[in-house]
Structure formats: structure tokens, C-alpha cells
Amino acid sequence: MQQEDLGGTSPALSGANLDSSNVTEAWTRIRGRLREEIGEIEYRTWMRQMTLAAIEGEEAVVQVPSRFLRDWLRSQYGDRLRALWQAENLGVRRVDIRVAPAPAPDGAAVDGEAMPRAVPEPARPAEARAADSRSADPRNDWAAPLDPRFTFDSFVVGKPNEFAYACARRVAEKPASPGFNPLFLYGGVGLGKTHLMHSIAWALREPGLDRSVAYMSAEKFMYRFIAALRSQSTMEFKESLRSVDVLMIDDLQFLIGKDNTQEEFFHTFNALVDAGKQIVVSADKSPSDLSGLEDRLRTRLGCGMVADIHATTYELRISILEAKAQAAGIPVPARVLEYLAHKITSNVRELEGALNRLIAHSGLFGRPVTLESCQEVLHDILRAHDRRVTIEEIQKRVAEHYNMRLADMSSARRARNVARPRQVAMYLAKQLTSRSLPEIGRKFGNRDHTTVMHAVAKVQELMQQDAGFAEDVELLRRMLET
């Protein structure tokens, strides 16, 4: 069989206690599946230059020739690569994408690519090595690794997330403070929950603090618990978890329906809190809305600090894009950032992914980022966000939601049960359409643009003060965008 990617067996592979021919065949199948899934053009643009460098325990090390390509593949295909490796059932549970050193002169050429016969571990910056040393905690060697990009310094703060950010900072500075244990962060997909979780963990692992921090997903917690049951090592599992100073569980909603795992988490929760240890949890909904969790667990989760992260505003999306572009060191015109902030409103992760894709394209092909190249490179993403919502549609949906007459959207009535839904509709019209304030005002009974401005500000204020109201508005937004 032609070894398309390995170019022979590297020393790292030969020492992995796996049959190198099986690894080679698995890697070939994985690349073949990716080619089928994304198409030949996309595959050749982004994935053709991947090489398999090593199998290190449960981790497959994939190398690419540039930092841009590494960042792009991590953000867009990291999860898919891991899933494909796991499907091969070779014991690989993680995939690390790294920048490869320059190929050796005697590298074999395969499919037009130079393949190094032996790929050494790439040199890493001192900052990355220091981050690795802080990430590794010998007392919790099975906890998930932390992403060095996710720190408080790199988190862009705006009105939708400033409360959650302040709570996370407080826990990082004074863990187990009264009223902040547990800290429960919740919000939609890609709004920054995981970023804040990692930021807390990095701050708590600063040298000299001597704190044991265990961060993992709820899914990993469950798998570790099941493995402990099978190996009859539940006592070791319990002792390992309950010896930490800080336990952080991401995506708690995964435990819904897993009664035995919920019970174990509940007992671990109680043991740690009673011992004065900090717990930080994230989920996609507030504790009271996580139907399927045991009542006693839901009550305990809500007894500390509950902080939600709202959907991003246009201003926050611009700030995030500007910060990411500056960190990448690639000039991105303001009109491109504004265009992306208007078009991609669903979540921060998708917004950053689009920008990473633009930057990678610019770096790989040596072309400047322009509005034209943005529309060309991101055509698939932009097409998915191209649905145009009308003000009339917004008015109709909001009126139905609040059980009011559609005619009252334009009437002079000022009763609270009419005025508040009208303000919500104005707010959504500002967020979801490109209409100007005067145009929106005219659609609401020829009201002045200052009335629309007041409505937008009022709704934003209420969303900050009332989590239930914020969820209501966010629900309406999602219904209109889908």
C-alpha cells in the first residue's frame, strides 16, 4: 500500500506499541473520508499538506507546514479528526496539530509533497513550554489539558458577558468565596463559557499557588466513572477527584439522563464544597432549566453564583474580531470586520473560525485580505447566514409570542403589556435587519428614531437585570434566525 502521508515509519511511531502498517492504513482511510466529506478542492487547499508524525500514547500527532494552517485546522477540523481516529479503534483519543520543521533534504516525495523520513518533535516557544508545565498536574493526570489561548487577557469583554467575566475573575482571585461556590456559567454555543473556564484554571495554576485544579468535560467525567466501575477502582476515582482544590466541569447538560453518573457527581460536589473547595460548572441552560437533572443536584448548583452569557452584540463582535486580527498580526480592513460582524451573529466560535479561515488563506497564498476575498473564501458560511429577516416578520412573531394584537405594534397604546413587546420588536429589528433607526420607527406607527434608540437601550438594560427576560428575547432571536 502506498504510504501517502507517513513516508515510512518514524521513530515515534515505531515506539508506540502499535503495528505501524495498521496505523498507516488507518491514516489513509481517515484522509480518504475527509476528502469525501469536504470535496477535492477544499481538501487540497487545507488538508493535503497534513502528515502523521507520531502516535504518542493516546494522542496522534499531525504536522502541517505553517502556523496559519495549524490554527485553521484546529478550529475547523480538530473535533472531526479526533472522531475519525476514535472510529478506527486504535486507542487514539486525542489529536494534536503542530507546525512541522522544514523537511529533511532526503525526504521522499509523495503526491508532490516532500515527506520527512524522521520527524522530530518540533521546537516550541518558551511560553508554550511554561504553559505545559502549568497545565500538567501530577495529582490529576487524567484531567483535560487547557488551551493556552484561553486566558483572561485574551477574553474580549462587553455587555453580554461582563457579569460572567467579573464572576470568573472573582473565583480566580478568591476561590471558594462565600456566595461564589459553586460558580455556574451558562449560555448558548460558542459564547465564551469554555474560554472563561480555561481562564480561571490558568489563573489558579500560576506558579507558587500550589493548587490542584481538575478541568474536564462532563462527558469525560462520565467515561472515567464508567471505567472505574469496570476496573473496580471506584475508590481511587473518588479519592482522586475529592483531593483537588478546584473541580471544573464543562457542558454539564451531558449528564442529563445518566442517573448513576449524576449521583456520583452529586456526592463529589458535596464532599468538595463541605471541604471548602471550589467548584465551577458550565452548561447551555440555567440550573432551573436543566430538566432531567435530579432536583437535589439542580438545587445545589443554583445555591452559589449563577452567571449567564448573552448573545453577542454588534459592538462586541467588532471588538472580538479586532483583537483576533491584531493577535494574528495580519492587517484586516475595517470594512471586512464590519461585514463579518453584521453577517455572522450566531456565536463567537463561528465568527473566530471565519476570521481564522480568512487569515489562513491570506498567509498560505500571500494575498491581502479584502472584502472580495472574504466573500469568495467564506461563501459557504455567508450563504448559511444570508437569510433576510423582515421587520414585518419580527412584529408578527413577537406579537404571537406575547399574545397581543399585531395592530398594537403600530398603535399609540402605551400600556405596559403592549409597550414592552413593542420595544422588544424594535430591539430585534435593530439586531436582525440592516434598516436604519428612522426606517424602523416608520414601521412602528411613524415613531421617531429616538424612540427606537430608547427601546433598544431599555431592552438591553432589562436583559442585563432579568435572566428570564433575556432568555425570552434570545428565544425570539433564534426563532427568527432559523
Among the four given CATH numbers 3.40.50.10320, 1.10.357.10, 2.40.50.140, 3.40.50.300, the one describing domain 152-308:
3.40.50.300
| Chain segment 389-428, per-residue pLDDT in tens | 889 989 998 998 888 999 999 998 888 889 999 999 999 9
CATH of segment(s) 314-386: 1.10.8.60
Residues 6+ apart with CB under 8 A from 341: 314, 317, 318, 321, 351
Residue 105 pLDDT > 50, yes or no?
no
Q: Where are the domains of the chain?
A: 20-99, 152-308, 314-386, 391-481
**Coil, strand, or helix at residue 131?**
helix
pTM, 2 dp: 0.54
Number of H-type helices and E-type strands within the chain: 21, 10
Could you count the other beta carbons within 10 Å of the beta carbon of residue 92?
A: 23
How far apart are the C-alpha atoms of 218 and 430, rounded to whole Å? Answer: 37
Across residues 209-229, what is the average pLDDT? 87
At residue 209 the predicted structure's pLDDT band, cuts being 50, 70 and 90, is: confident
Q: 475573575: which residue's cell?
A: 169
At residue 306 the predicted structure's pLDDT band, cuts being 50, 70 and 90, is: very high
Residues in the chain: 482
**Coil, strand, or helix at residue 116?**
coil
Determine if residue 433 is labeled as part of a ligand binding site: no
Which alpha helices (H) appear in 329-436, and where do they start and end? 334-343, 348-365, 371-377, 379-384, 391-401, 416-432
**Coil, strand, or helix at residue 168?**
helix
| Chain segment 341-388, per-residue pLDDT in tens | 888 877 788 888 889 888 888 888 778 888 888 888 888 777 766 556
Determine if residue 194 is labeled as part of a ligand binding site: yes
Determine if residue 192 is labeled as part of a ligand binding site: yes
Which of 40-54, 147-161, 271-285, 415-429 has the least mean pLDDT?
A: 40-54
Q: Which residues pair with 60 in a beta bridge?
A: 55, 95
Determine if residue 193 is labeled as part of a ligand binding site: yes
CATH of segment(s) 20-99: 3.30.300.180
Q: May I ask the CATH architecture of the domain 391-481?
A: Orthogonal Bundle (1.10)
The overall average pLDDT reported for the chain is: 81
Could you count the other beta carbons within 10 Å of the beta carbon of residue 413?
A: 15
